[in-house]
Chain A
Amino acid sequence: MSEMAAHSAHPQGFAHQFEDVGQQRDAGRLGMWIFLATEILFFGGLFTAFIIYRALHLPAFIAGSHQLEVQFGATNTAVLICSSLTMALAIRSAQVGKPRGTIIFWLVLTMLFGAAFLGIKLHYEWLRDYREGLVPGFGFNVAKYTPGVEMFFCFYFFMTGLHALHMVAGIGVLTVLIIMAARNAFSSEYYAPLEISGLYWHFVDIVWIFLFSLLYLIGGRYAQ
């Protein structure tokens, strides 16, 4: 009886400035979403500039877009969707009180998918782009490609580069979560860090969904 009283007075992770655990969870989610709102506008600035320059230089941007290989962009989109699924399953396994091994399993899978995304990007896309003279400022092939194409690739590397930076940060967060899970920090009562990091990870996935559509596919690929 006294044990139950002690348990109910201190659910795991409960901070006493909140009314109850439910309010604490809502507050955590709300805070994360406000941060994600700032991130939406952060990427939004680049998207806005891209939209404007594409409207002003459509043929050059289509030519630039056609230098990208759709198969790698599409594969990367699939990889990130898989990582979002494994992240959601990691949070769910904590919610239903699975052992820490299960949580760690899903988190490690998420990390592997994230690393695969970065590997494909770096090796199959950016390295090839560099060798073909498509990286502005690093041996851009001005003889072969017009200034409009160079502008497209400025946007391409800034936007995918900023996104990749967010992926790296996300992988860092996942590492911390795995260490926390290994130390038995999570339970069906307390999984807030997992849920909050999940929101960040899904957001980075959504940004890539739009990057893929705008950079690889806009303008259509039927002219090739």
Chain B
Amino acid sequence: MSNDSEHARHTEYSEHIVPVATYVGVFFALMIGTALTTWVAYIDLGRWNTVVALAIAVIKMILVVLFFMHVKYNKGLTRIVILAAFFWLGIMITLSLADELTRHWELNPAPWSVLLPYLSRLF
């Protein structure tokens, strides 16, 4: 009896085997995505070129993560780690951009001597 339960304990977990058809389907979706993003780059969409290119890249990434990396069949803890990594990346990019893009420095800043008239205000 204890043999059976031990047997069950060690071998009850069976991995989800992804069918070859799924892998091949994802492969073709990725190839089409690559062709699409290359093709769209040659069309003038103004500011939307960047948005489209990044959107297609994100979709390709999601396909690779979910299917090739098996995250679709993994436990929730793995997904939390992945989401956390992208969240931190988002913080890094957002705060860095918020800093840099709000600096409004002149291209030819004045020398420090322009501050001299204001020195009297310190005292």
Contacts and interface: CB of A to CB of B under 8 A. Distances in A.
Interface string A116-152: 0000000000000000000000000000000000000
A87 B23 CA distance: 10
Interface stretch (A28-36, A158-166, A174-182): A28-36
Interface in B70-94: 70, 74-75, 77-78, 81-82, 84-86, 88-89, 92-93
Contacts, number: 161
Given A217-B41, A220-B44, A222-B43, A85 B24 contact: yes
Interface string B28-67: 0011001101100111110001100110110011001101
B106 interface: no
B75 A26 contact: yes
B15 A25 contact: yes
- The residue among A1, A11, A26, A213 with the most chain B CB atoms within 10 A of its own CB is A213
Contact of A45 (B44, B67, B92): B92
A5 B44 contact: no
Q: How many interface residues does chain B have, given as a range? A: 35 or more
B64 A37 contact: no
A78 B7 contact: no
Contact of B42 (A19, A25, A77, A222): A222
Contacts of B112: none
B113 interface: no
Contacts of A168: none
Nearest to B57: A213
A205 B64 contact: yes
B89 A11 contact: no
B114 interface: no
Nearest to B74: A29
Nearest to B59: A209
Contacts of B56: 213
B20 interface: yes
A92 B41 contact: no
A23 to B, nearest CB: 8
Contacts of A184: none
A36 B74 CA distance: 16
Contacts of B116: none
Given A14-B10, A92-B23, A222-B43, 19 more contacts: A4-B3, A5-B7, A20-B10, A22-B12, A30-B77, A33-B82, A48-B92, A74-B38, A85-B26, A89-B20, A89-B23, A198-B69, A202-B65, A206-B61, A206-B65, A213-B53, A214-B53, A216-B41, A220-B45
29 contacts: A4-B3, A4-B7, A5-B7, A8-B3, A8-B6, A20-B9, A22-B12, A26-B74, A37-B84, A40-B85, A40-B89, A41-B88, A44-B92, A48-B96, A51-B97, A52-B100, A70-B41, A78-B31, A81-B30, A89-B20, A95-B17, A198-B69, A202-B64, A202-B69, A203-B69, A206-B60, A206-B61, A209-B60, A222-B43
Which 8 pairs, one residue from A and one from B, show the smallest C-beta to C-beta distance? A22-B13, A37-B85, A8-B7, A220-B49, A217-B41, A222-B44, A44-B89, A213-B57
